[in-house]
Amino acid sequence: MEGLFTDSQIHEHSLIIKPQRRGGAKKTLATWRLSGEKHYMNLTEFESKLNQLGLKRVPFFFLIDFEMENPMAWEMREVPKEILFSVSGFTNTKAEVKKQKVQLKKYPISYHEYKSKFDIVENRISFGDSYLTNLTIKTKIEIDHSLEELFFQTSAKYKVLWKNKFLVFSPETFIRMESGKIFSFPMKGTIDASIPDAEKLILKDQKELSEHITIVDLIRNDLSRVASDVSVKRFRYIEKIRTNQKDLLQVSSEIRGKLPDDFHSIIGSIVISMLPAGSVSGAPKNKTLQIIREAEKEKRSYYTGVVGYYDGNNLDSGVMIRFIEQDKDQFYYRSGGGITSQSKAESEYQETIDKIYVPVY
C-alpha cells in the first residue's frame, strides 16, 4: 500500500526543523586497522577526495562512521582486500554460495538496563531538547556462520563485510544521486507481518505517524540545503522484509530534489552536509546527538554510518543498519529505534530485539 500526502498535509503534523551546522570532526585513532598504507583521513580530506574524484568522474567507494571520525574513500581499484561490498547489486566479489539455514540466538540486555537508557532520552525529550531520538543497543548473539559466510548468504540492498570486524546487510538507502536528481528513502516504522491487519495497524498508529513525519521533515530540510524543487513523492509506503525468523513490514517515504549542474564536483560536500543520517539520529540533530552520547555511553563507530558507491555518473549509498560486530570470538548485533514523547519503553525494547535478524531465506 502507498500513501501520498501533500507538503501542506505533512506540515499539519510536523515540526519546523532549522538546518543544523556542525564543526569538523576530530580525527582519532581507529579501533580497526586495515593492512598496507594509510586509509583513514579526517573529514576535510574525505570531502576533498570525493569532490576531486567526482570532478574527474572517477568511480569510488567509501565508508564513513557515525561520529565522522574515521571516514575512508578509495578509487575502485584501491579498495582493500579485507573489505567486500555489494551496493544495489554492484559488488567487488563474484563468489557464489549455496544458501543454508542460519541459527541465531539472542542474549539481549535486561529490560531494566534498557529502561535506564530510555529514561535519559525520555527526560531530555520532556525538556524539549529533542522531538525524536534514535536509541540503539548492543546485543550479544551466537550464530552458526562466520561473517564472511553470512555476507554471501544474506540478501540486502547494501552489504559490507570488513573481514573479522563487522558485517552490514542494510535495506535502507541514505541518498541516491541519479540523472541530476537526489533521492532519499527514510525508513521509520517496523511491525511483525504476521500480526493480523499489521499494515493497517502501523499506518494508523499515531506514535509511528508522528515519528515518520518528523524524519520526513528533517530529511526534506537536509535535501533543501543541496537541491532545489524538493518534494515528498511518496509518503509512508509499505515494504516487506524477509528474515531467517519472520517477515517484517517496514514503512518508508520517498523524497527527491533537483541537483545543481556541477554536483559531481561537490559530491563529497553534499554527502557531508547530510550526515549523520536523520533516520538514525533524530531531530534536531545537534541536540539529539548529545542525548545519544549520554544515553548509549559508547561510540557507534561504523554502525549507523554510511556506505556508498559512485560509478562516475551516479551515486548510491546506504545507512549501515542491521549490523553484526565481531570481537575476537564473540559477536554482537546492533539495533535500535526512534523514541518520541509518545513512546512506551516496553514496546521500544521489544522492537530493538525484533530487529535482530539476518535476511537469509
131: exposed, middle or buried (Cβ count in 10 Å: 0-12, 13-18, 19+): buried
Is residue 252 one of the residues assigned to a domain?
yes
Range of the domain at 287: 7-15+41-354
Whether 295 is in a domain gets the answer yes
Question: Residue 99 domain-assigned?
Answer: yes
Neighbours of 346 (CB within 10 A): 12
Q: pTM for the complete prediction?
A: 0.85
pLDDT tens digits for range 154-183: 989 999 999 999 999 999 999 999 999 999
Domain harbouring 89, CATH code: 3.60.120.10
Residue 21 maps to a domain: no
- Does any domain span residue 210? yes
Q: Which residues pair with 282 in a beta bridge?
A: 133
Does residue 5 register a pLDDT over 80? no
Strand partners, 310: 60, 315
* pLDDT of the residue at 298: 95
d(CA 288, CA 225): 20
Please tell me the predicted confidence (pLDDT) of residue 257: 97
**Three-class SS state of 210:** helix
- Measured at the alpha carbon of residue 95, what is the angle toward residues 91 and 100, in degrees to the nearest 5? 110
Is residue 30 in some structural domain?
A: no
What local confidence, expressed as pLDDT, does residue 270 receive?
96
Whole-angstrom CA distances from 31 to 40, 69, 86, 184 are 11, 11, 24, 30
Each residue of 186-206: pLDDT tens digit? 887 777 788 888 888 888 888
Q: Rounded to an integer, what distance in angstroms lies between the CA atom of residue 132 and that of residue 320?
A: 19
> What is the pLDDT averaged over residues 303-310?
98
Query: In the predicted model, is pLDDT for residue 86 greater than 80?
Result: yes
pLDDT per residue as tens digits for the range 46-85: 999 999 999 999 999 999 999 999 999 999 999 999 999 9
Q: How many domains does the chain have?
A: 1
Query: Is the residue at 145 inside a domain?
Result: yes
> Cβ atoms within 10 A of the Cβ of 154, count?
23
Q: Are 160 and 325 in contact (CB under 8 A)?
A: no
CB 170 within 8 A of CB 157: yes
Is residue 139 within 8 A of residue 109, CB to CB? The reply is yes
Asked whether residue 25 is assigned to any structural domain, the reply reads no
The least confident of 9-18, 238-247, 289-298, 336-345 is 9-18
State the average pLDDT for the chain.
Answer: 87
Cα 318 to Cα 308: distance, rounded to the nearest angstrom: 6
Report whether 41 contacts 60 (CB < 8 A).
no
Work out the end-to-end distance of the chain between its first and last CA atoms, rounded to an integer number of angstroms. Answer: 23
Q: Tell me the percentage of the chain whose pLDDT exceeds 70.
A: 88
- Count of Cβ atoms closer than 10 Å to residue 251 Cβ: 24
